[in-house]
Amino acid sequence: MIAVDAPSELLGRALTLHPQVALRPEPFGALAYHYGTRRLVFLKHPDVVRVVRALEHHDTVGDTFAACEIAPARHPAFLRALTSLSDSEMLRDRAG
């Protein structure tokens, strides 16, 4: 679980998909399944899937948004989605 005070704080963090999580592409986006917690989560937009997959290749969440060309107006919604994925342990902090 990642403690997040305000979603915007997430912009500076380095996140990655939890190693026990598998993503399966679906017409609406993707399904994420956590083999440890047995939780299933729906990623309801292809852009969210793109961002989630890209997280590990960029230093911060903010950099990932830039690289994926997510318009600033959409940042709050994406930060909420990523916060919820962190809360369910689908994402976790990347060491180093």
Partner 1 sequence: MTALVEQLKSGLDAPICLTWELTYACNLECVHCLSSSGRRDPRELTTGEAKAVLDELHDLQVFYINIGGGEPMIRRDFFELVEYSIAKGIGVKFSTNGAFIDGAKARRLAAMDYLDVQISLDGTDAVTNDAVRGNGSYATAIRAMDHLRAADFGPFKISVVVTRHNVDQLDEFKALADAYGAQLRITRLRPSGRGADSWHDLHPTNDQQRQIYEWLLAHGDHVLTGDSFFHLNALGDENLPGLNLCGAGRVVCLIDPIGDVYACPFVIHDEFKAGNIRDQGGFTQIWKSSNLFTELRQPQSAGACASCGSYDSCQGGCMAAKFFTGLPLDGPDPECVGGEGELALAGVAAGTTPRPMMDHSKPPPATPVSFRRK
Q: 38 to 77, contacts with partner 1 by CB under 8 A?
A: 38, 40, 42, 44
The DSSP secondary structure of 23-86, one letter per residue, reads EEEETTEEEEEETTTTEEEEE-SHHHHHHHHHGGGSSSHHHHHHHTT--GGGHHHHHHHHHHHH
Kindly indicate which of the ranges 17-25, 58-66, 67-75, 86-94 contains the residues binding partner 1, using the contact rule CB under 8 A.
17-25
**Closest CB to partner 1 among 46 and 62?**
46
* Interaction site with partner 1 (CB under 8 A): 22, 24-28, 31, 33, 35, 38, 40, 42, 44
